[in-house]
């Protein structure tokens, strides 16, 4: 189908503005630009019962920030389910603030806590730092769930774009560590090591996420070209993993026995094909998968509801998936 009329108007507005794309800016300028755009495109932040800013330790002795959204009082007697959320931004831009409105919306709609994680960004912290931060945050959330009034048996992981990539990897690492998850909610995740799909070629320019920006993100994130073949960067087609203590390179793990997946893709997103292919990979491995293609939409549309009211349908579908996962756990 054609572009949603509101999406088409947004793309025309961006074209008319002549604002430089992120890949032509410095990293600091790109982060500032992304921060400024979030409140323009997204709905106003909804009020919640409580929002707490937290700090948690990670494996290298440092710490990362997180934000806990509570739609109502959490207690040991009536613990809340929780969604651990990882923001998008090409591993280079994005923050707790850029995804604040979306996290609030999900917390209110699904009646769950949302634990938003500020994993460390590239190029200051290159691959696999964000992967390590993701797993360390997930383990911390499981370990601290009782103290926070959360239900460790009803935790989901989710994220958009690069955050969706991290959520896919987090789901595999959680399985291997015996950390139960009830759902992986993947919003237009990046999953392939090399962007050579038909949708990348067809939608390389003019649809919000230029191919040059994608490659700029990845050049900031990966250490060497070999990282593109690591499954933690490319869960769809990566063939290698972390080097072992003996200096050998581990193979990619199997993808069976993972948490059920709810995957959203957009018709006019360069990442469309790899999202669809990843859903099929999970299905072939025996996992339960719901794949939703939102026609007329572009990359990052989950954060555009202010200007594109039809995004509400996608929000409602994601919220319904979270509620089902939490209710049946």
Active-site residue, 87 included: no
Which residue is catalytic, options 23, 87, 132, 299? 299
What does R_g of the chain's alpha carbons equal in angstroms? 18
Among candidate residues 136, 160, 269, 273, the one labeled active-site is 269
Active-site residue, from 37, 161, 200, 273: 161
Q: List Cβ neighbours of 64 (8 Å cut-off, separation of 6 or more).
A: 55, 56, 58, 117, 118, 119, 120, 133, 136, 137
Torsion of Cα atoms, 167 then 173 then 246 then 129, to 10°: 30
Establish whether 205 is a catalytic residue: no
- 235/193 Cα distance (integer angstroms): 8
**Short-list 323, 256, 266, 273, CA closest to 295:** 266
Residue 214 is classified by DSSP as H
User: What is the DSSP annotation of 54-112?
Assistant: EEEE-TTS-EEEEEEEESS---SSSPEEEEEEE--STTTS--TTTTHHHHHHHHHHHTS
Q: Is 129 a catalytic residue?
A: no
Q: Which residues carry out catalysis? A: 161, 269, 299
């Amino acid at each position: 189908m054609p572009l949603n009329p509101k999406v088409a108007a947004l793309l025309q507005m961006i074209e008319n503005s002549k604002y430089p794309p992120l890949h032509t800016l410095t990293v600091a300028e790109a982060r500032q630009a992304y921060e400024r755009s979030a409140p323009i495109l997204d709905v106003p932040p909804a009020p919640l019962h409580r929002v707490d800013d937290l700090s948690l330790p990670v494996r290298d002795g440092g710490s990362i920030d997180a934000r806990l959204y509570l739609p109502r009082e959490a207690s040991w007697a009536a613990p809340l389910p929780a969604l651990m959320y990882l923001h998008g931004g090409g591993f280079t831009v994005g923050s707790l603030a850029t995804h604040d409105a979306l996290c609030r919306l999900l917390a209110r709609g699904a009646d769950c806590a949302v634990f938003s994680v500020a994993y460390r960004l590239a190029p200051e912290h290159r691959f696999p730092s964000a992967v390590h931060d993701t797993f360390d945050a997930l383990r911390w959330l499981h370990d601290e769930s009782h103290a926070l009034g959360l239900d460790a048996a009803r935790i989901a992981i989710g994220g958009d774009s690069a955050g969706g990539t991290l959520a896919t990897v987090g789901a595999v690492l959680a399985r291997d560590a015996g950390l139960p998850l009830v759902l992986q909610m993947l919003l237009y995740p990046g999953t392939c090591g090399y962007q050579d799909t038909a949708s990348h070629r067809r939608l390389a320019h003019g649809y919000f996420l230029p191919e040059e920006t994608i490659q700029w993100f990845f050049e900031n994130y990966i250490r060497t070209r070999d990282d593109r073949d690591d499954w933690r960067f490319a869960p769809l087609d990566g063939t290698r993993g972390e080097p072992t203590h003996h200096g050998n390179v581990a193979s990619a793990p199997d993808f069976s026995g993972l948490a059920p997946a709810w995957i959203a893709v957009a018709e006019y997103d360069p990442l469309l094909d790899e999202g669809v292919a990843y859903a099929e990979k999970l299905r072939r491995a025996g996992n339960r998968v719901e794949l939703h293609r939102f026609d007329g939409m572009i990359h990052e549309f989950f954060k555009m509801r202010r200007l594109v009211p039809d995004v509400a349908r996608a929000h409602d579908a994601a919220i319904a998936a979270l509620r089902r996962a939490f209710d049946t756990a």
